[in-house]
Structure 1
Amino acid sequence: MATYVLVPGAGGRAWYWHRLVPRLRERGHEVTAVDLPAADDQAGLQEYADTIVDAIDGRDEVVLVAQSMGGLTAPLVCDRVPVDLLVMLNAMTPRPGETGGAWWDDTGQAQAMADQAAREGRTLPAEFDLRDTFFHDVPSEVTDEALAQGEPVQAAKPFTEPWPLAGWPDTPTVFLQGRDDRFFPLEFQRRVVSDRLGIPVDEMPGGHLVALSRPEELAGRLEGYRTRWAV
């Protein structure tokens, strides 16, 4: 039995994983979805990492899955406690010394998002649209439930701190990307991940929120990685 520890993106809500959790438990694993202190103005990357380390609580056979902004924090956890496998899912890949705030311009994310929209014949809305960018492939009832909770609060501190590691941890790492992600397009991620980690990017159908849109397929992908890579 493995322990899956699921790290959400900006806003830090464990709820993001609620459709995936039962599918992993059905396969006989322990699963912990982490709530991060995203609304706390005093909480930075180390406090996020503390929260995840506390959730791991000495368990072994850990598969750590990091969604989006969670990519800034999960490697810090791997540097502190044993993790068998790190899965970066539609994630931000930081460089040593880079702030999360600088990551966007450093990687060219905004231009990549605009170029992807143009290739698909879409016009980006004048104001950021959660439904259009994040929920375009999520079932309507799940989207309604998410938006009824209100937009999650994300304090700025984690984006202002230089990424503290000197390099990527030794933990085996795989990168899985939704090929329909409008926020972090697939080819953008291939470029960034190749440059920064030197590993390939696997792809699956789905947008930025694949744990909400395709939880069964995601569970299968994670299980495939676990059996192949985890010790």
Structure 2
Amino acid sequence: MATFALIHGGGGSGWDWHLVAARLKASGHEVVAPDLPIENPQATFADFTDTVVAAIGDAAEVVVVGHSYGGFTAPLVAERVGARLLVFVAGMVPAPGEAPGEWWGNVGFESADGLSVAEQFMADVPAELAEENERRGRDQNSAEYSVPWPGERLPDVPTKVLLFRDDRFFSADLLRRVARERLGLDADEMAGSHLALLSRPDELADRLLAYYAAVAG
């Protein structure tokens, strides 16, 4: 049995993972999906990491999963807890010393013109869930955005990258290139929008379970 530490993206909350978490728990695993202190103007990546590590507790078999902006926190958690596996899900892969605000230009991110927020992030999310996600959205007022990422390196643990082919925010081409350039990996792919956590939770959970099964033998 593993403990899956699910880290939400910018402006999000642990709720974003609730459907995936239900599937993982039904398969016999433990799940933590804490709310990061993103509304605290003094909070940094150290605070984000502490929040997730505290939620993990003394679990020994840990899979760390970072969605979107949560990709900056996930490697720090994986390093701290000696994770069995690290997974970037439509995730931002950081470089040592790179501030999150620098990432976009460094990787050649281009925004999609003329699309609403819902079209960029939730094109295939059922309307009721999309509305609930918008209600639960939080302001990202924390202090880390312009501060260099504190990791000395990406952790030396088995790592996977999963992108969503229908993502209109982080395009598949962008994340394929980032995975190759920053991790030397070929990204895995599945259908879905940026928030496929809500539109395709069972398929996403099954991917995570398969990744864990592969490293656990």
Q: TM-score range by the shorter chain?
A: over 0.9
Distance of 1:144 and 1:45 partners within structure 2? 29
Larger Rg: 1
Number of positions where the alignment pairs a residue of Structure 1 with one of Structure 2:
217
Q: Which runs of 4+ in 1 moved over 4 A?
A: none
The residue number in structure 1 matching 2:193 is 207
The residue number in structure 1 matching 2:134 is 147
The residue number in structure 1 matching 2:35 is 35
**Structure 2 gaps, min length 5:** none
The residue number in structure 1 matching 2:52 is 52
Match for residue 178 of structure 1 among 147, 164, 167:
164
Q: Per-residue deviation at 1:214?
A: 0.2
The residue number in structure 1 matching 2:154 is 168
The residue number in structure 2 matching 1:229 is 215
Distance of 2:135 and 2:14 partners within structure 1? 16
Distance of 1:22 and 1:83 partners within structure 2? 21
Distance of 2:182 and 2:142 partners within structure 1? 24
Letter in 2 for 1:212: L
Q: Per-residue deviation at 1:75?
A: 0.7
Q: Normalized against structure 1, the TM-score is what?
A: 0.90
Letter in 2 for 1:164: P
Distance of 1:80 and 1:196 partners within structure 2? 20
**Structure 1 gaps, min length 5:** 115-123
Distance of 1:195 and 1:24 partners within structure 2? 31
Look up the SS of the partner of 2:19 in the other structure: coil
Contact 2:163 2:189 in 1 (8 A): yes
The residue number in structure 2 matching 1:138 is 125
Q: Normalized against structure 2, the TM-score is what?
A: 0.96
% identical equivalent positions: 45
Q: Deviations over 1:72-107 (max 9, x none)?
A: 011111221121001110000111111000101111
Query: Could you say what the CA RMSD is over the residues aligned between the two structures, in angstroms?
Result: 1.3
Look up the SS of the partner of 1:226 in the other structure: helix
Distance of 1:167 and 1:147 partners within structure 2? 34
